[in-house]
Amino acid sequence: MNFKIEEYISSKRQLVDKRLEKIFQAGNKKQSKLKESIRYSLLASGKRLRPVLCLASCETFGGRTSQALPVACAIEMIHTYSLIHDDLPSMDNDNLRRGVPTNHKVFGESAAILAGDALLTDSFNLIIKEGIKKEISSDKICELIATLSNAAGSAGMVEGQAIDLEFGSKKNVSPDDLKKLHSLKTGALISASAVSGAVVAGAKKDEIKHLKKFSDSIGLAFQIKDDLIDDTGAGKTGKSGGSDKKNKKSTYLTVLGEEKSLKLIDNLTTKSNGYLDRIDRDTSILKELANYLGKRNR
Binding site for its own copies (CB under 8 A): 32-35, 38, 85, 88, 90-91, 108-111, 113-114, 116-118, 120-122, 124-125, 128-129, 131-132, 137-139, 141-142, 145-146, 149-150, 152-155, 158-159, 161-163, 165-166
Compare residues 23 and 100 and give the one whose CB is closer to its own copies: 23
Partnered with residue 97 across adjacent β-strands are 100
Nearest-angstrom CA–CA distance, 105 and 87: 10
User: 166 vs 280, which CB is nearer to its own copies?
Assistant: 166
**Nearest distance in Å: CB 139, its own copies:** 5
Residue 106 neighbours by CB under 8 Å, 6+ apart: 37, 40
| CB closer to its own copies, 92 vs 231 | 92
Of 26 and 146, which CB lies nearer to its own copies in the complex structure?
146
Q: Based on CB atoms, which residue is closest to its own copies, 70 or 294?
A: 70
In order of 90, 159, 182, 191, 200, the CA distances from 162 in angstroms are 12, 5, 11, 19, 31
Note whether 156 and 189 are within 8 A (CB): yes
Residue 15 or 71: the one with the smaller Cβ distance to its own copies is 71
**Can you give the three-state secondary structure of 5-54, one letter per residue?**
HHHHHHHHHHHHHHHHHHHCCCCCCCCCHHHHHHHHHHCCCCCCHHHHHH
Residue type, 180: K
Separation of alpha carbons 90 and 208, rounded Å: 37
DSSP state letter for 187: I
Q: How far apart are CA 267 and CA 253, in angstroms?
A: 16
By C-beta, is 115 or 221 nearer to its own copies? 115
- Least distance between its own copies and beta carbon 83 (Å): 13
Q: How far apart are CA 137 and CA 140, in angstroms?
A: 5
Least distance to its own copies, CB of residue 150, Å? 6
Nearest to its own copies of 152, 253 (CB atom)? 152
Minimum Å distance from CB 24 to its own copies?
9
The minimum distance between CB 117 and its own copies, in angstroms, equals: 5
Q: Minimum Å distance from CB 23 to its own copies?
A: 11
Beta carbon of residue 145, minimum distance to its own copies (angstroms, whole number): 6
CB of 59 to its own copies, least distance (A): 25
Q: In 3-state terms, what secondary structure has residue 242?
A: coil
Q: Are 246 and 236 in contact (CB under 8 A)?
A: no
Q: Where are the beta strands (DSSP E) in the chain?
A: 96-97, 100-101
CB atoms within 10 A of CB 6: 10
